[in-house]
């Protein structure tokens, strides 16, 4: 099983600024760890990061036939992008949303996720470890869902 790991705007800078909020782990560290966790689950990951909304949508379209599901941190597009939500719906890719920080404990404009209504679930506030939880939950969901079930 191949799982896509998609990171949005500014997450390429992880580990370089604002460690109090986002930690000191780099995106490469996270991706390397997810490759290990995936292997232990009998799966593999494809990782991508983009700063543009359209680039993220194009990546999902390209992954449509390639991956079984997606772990996504859409960064600030989480709170603004109906287009990204539509891309998840259009591709019918099951996904788990992850945030390093607890978005509900931050400014009000970060409390709402436009992706959440069509996600399997969300992991928020566990830092880099949250990506592992999201990957494990997604693989489990894909393996155990009823045959033929579609993403929510």
Q: Give the interface with ligand CA2 as residue ranges (CB under 6 A).
A: 10-11, 13-14, 16-18, 22, 73, 75-76, 78, 99-101, 103, 110
The question of whether 22 is a catalytic residue gets the answer yes
Catalytic residue among 22, 79, 111, 131: 22
Taking the least distance from each CB to ligand CA2, the nearer of 1 and 23 is 23
Nearer to ligand CA2, 14 or 139 (CB): 14
Annotation marks residue 144 as catalytic: no
- Residue 143: CB atoms within 10 A of its CB come to 12
Q: In angstroms, give the least distance from the CB of 121 to ligand CA2.
A: 15
User: In the bound complex, what is the minimum distance in angstroms from residue 98's beta carbon to ligand CA2?
Assistant: 7
Query: Which H or E element spans position 6?
Result: strand 2-7
DSSP string, 29-96: HHHHHHHHHHHHTT-EEEEEE-SSHHHHHHHHHHHTTT-SEEEEE-GGGGGT-HHHHHHHHHHT--EE
* Shortest distance, position 39 Cβ to ligand CA2, whole Å: 24
Q: At what angle do helices 27-40 and 129-144 cross, to 10 degrees?
A: 30
Q: Which is nearer to ligand CA2, 24 or 44 (CB)?
A: 24
The catalytically annotated residue of 99, 104, 111, 144 is 99
Give the residue numbers annotated as catalytic, written as ranges.
22, 99
């Amino acid at each position: 099983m191949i799982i896509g790991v998609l990171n949005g705007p500014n997450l390429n800078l992880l580990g370089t600024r604002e460690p109090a909020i986002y930690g000191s782990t780099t995106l490469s560290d996270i991706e390397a760890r997810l490759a290990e966790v995936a292997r232990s689950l009998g799966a593999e990951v494809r990782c991508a990061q983009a700063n543009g909304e359209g680039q993220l949508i194009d990546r999902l379209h390209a992954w449509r036939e390639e991956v079984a599901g997606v772990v996504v941190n859409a960064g600030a597009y989480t709170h603004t992008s109906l287009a990204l939500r539509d891309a998840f719906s259009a591709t019918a890719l099951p996904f788990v949303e992850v945030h390093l920080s607890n978005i509900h404990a931050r400014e009000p404009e970060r409390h709402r996720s436009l992706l959440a209504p069509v996600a399997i679930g969300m992991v928020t506030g566990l830092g880099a470890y949250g990506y592992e939880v999201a990957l494990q939950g997604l693989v489990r969901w894909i393996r155990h869902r009823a045959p033929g079930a579609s993403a929510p």
